[in-house]
Amino acid sequence: MRRVSPTPKSDQGEDDFLISVREGLRHQPKSIPPKFFYDAHGSHLFDLICTTPEYYPTRTETGILERHGAEMAEMIGTSCTLIELGSGSATKTPLILRHLANDAVYVPIDICEPHLLNSTQRLQAMFPALQMQPLCADYHQLTDHAIKHHAGKRYVVFFPGSTIGNCTPGDAVKLLKRIAALVGPGGGLLIGVDAKKSIETLNAAYNDAAGHTAAFNINLLKRMQNELGAQLDAEQFAHHAYYNEEHGRIEMHLVSQCKQSIQMDGESFAFKAGETIHTENSYKYAPQEFKQLARTAGWHLQSTWHDENEWFNVHYFSQSASESLKLAR
């Protein structure tokens, strides 16, 4: 079995969490970036969310990858360097890796080191011939020199789970441009994107009956307590998620149940009853909407795969408009 390469440490500062929370709580309306959901317990809770009957994205995207993974691998190049952003438990990744050649390279990137190491070791056991280079980092802060060079190999980013939906459209364009710089000229992007659908289906997906999404949201407060020394009463906040039709997104909030304050790092952050911390957006895109968004960032759509209900899309983009002509030959 090939040994998993040592995991490089994230290049983000140790105070990133503190700075982001402090700045977010100073602003009106208050907000905290969703990347901070993912400590070890938060990552575990997200895995539980993915198993709930209400949360359709994981099983729907998995079905698409099961049916079309071989075709996708052929298009991205079976000997490529596959870079997965926010790899997490990497449960869908084998559906692509199983179709790659033995000289391919897999680079999973995740902000949670324990989750990253566990998933990489599991995948290495499944695909012992593949070289794997896990990178513990915040992919929003990656430079175009972050990935080790592999001569002659094409760089392709795999970005499943519709995580791009956590960004505002403007920030999504910035991230897509950063991905373009990361993979370089001729690189590719295989990305999962959640589609617009009934409000009832969307609201149910983010308010599961088992309460895993609520626990996932509240865990952010507990992480603030444990890691930042924040003085707060997590039980006085409630999970609230709903589809904002005007903006085409699910919004997740932590709602203060009373007049209270959070004490942290020598500051006091006051809350009125009903005031919220905006913790996550999840934008939903019609296929043409996302094509235009990606085009703004310099990406050219080559192919799209979807489920029978058209609830979810997996798009393949290249940086070259002529790529479609090459694929047709």
Q: Kindly report, residue by residue over 9-60, the tens digit of the pLDDT.
A: 444 445 899 999 999 999 999 999 999 999 999 999 999 999 999 999 999 9
Strand partners, 314: 192, 305
Q: Which residue has the tokens 């047709």?
A: 328
> Are the CB atoms for 112 and 39 separated by under 8 Å?
yes
199 three-state secondary structure: helix
- Identify residue 25 by its one-letter amino acid code: L
CB neighbour list of residue 288: distance below 8 Å, 6 or more residues apart: none
Burial of 267 (0-12, 13-18, 19+ CB in 10 A): exposed
> Are the CB atoms for 202 and 250 separated by under 8 Å?
yes
- Identify residue 104 by its one-letter amino acid code: A
At residue 322, the pLDDT reads 55
Structure token pair of residue 109: 């990137």
DSSP at 259 = S
CA distance 313 to 120: 26
Which of 69, 58, 84 has its CA nearest to residue 303? Answer: 69
34 three-state secondary structure: helix
Tallying the residues shown for the chain, one arrives at: 329
At residue 15, the pLDDT reads 83
* Whole-Å CA distances, 290 to 11, 256, 300: 30, 34, 11
- Identify residue 142 by its one-letter amino acid code: L
Structure token pair of residue 218: 């509240």
- Identify residue 233 by its one-letter amino acid code: D
CA distance 15 to 115: 21
Which of 139, 166, 155 has its CA nearest to residue 190? Answer: 155
> Are the CB atoms for 304 and 314 separated by under 8 Å?
yes
At residue 57, the pLDDT reads 97
> Are the CB atoms for 73 and 223 separated by under 8 Å?
no
CA distance 279 to 242: 12
Structure token pair of residue 61: 């995207």
> Are the CB atoms for 192 and 159 separated by under 8 Å?
yes
Q: Where do the domains of the chain lie, and which CATH numbers do they carry?
A: 56-198+284-328 (3.40.50.150)
E strand segments, 154-264: 155-159, 188-194, 237-244, 249-256, 260-264
Q: What is the pLDDT along the chain (329 residues), one digit of tens a residue?
A: 333 444 444 444 458 999 999 999 999 999 999 999 999 999 999 999 999 999 999 999 999 999 999 999 999 999 999 999 999 889 999 999 999 999 999 999 998 899 899 999 999 999 999 999 999 999 988 876 777 676 678 999 999 999 999 999 999 999 999 999 999 889 999 999 999 999 999 999 999 999 999 999 999 999 999 999 999 999 999 999 999 999 999 999 999 999 999 999 999 999 999 999 999 999 999 999 999 999 999 999 999 999 999 999 999 999 875 554 344 33
Which of 45, 19, 55 has its CA nearest to residue 218? Answer: 45
Strand partners, 31: 278
> Are the CB atoms for 254 and 279 separated by under 8 Å?
yes
Structure token pair of residue 260: 């209270």
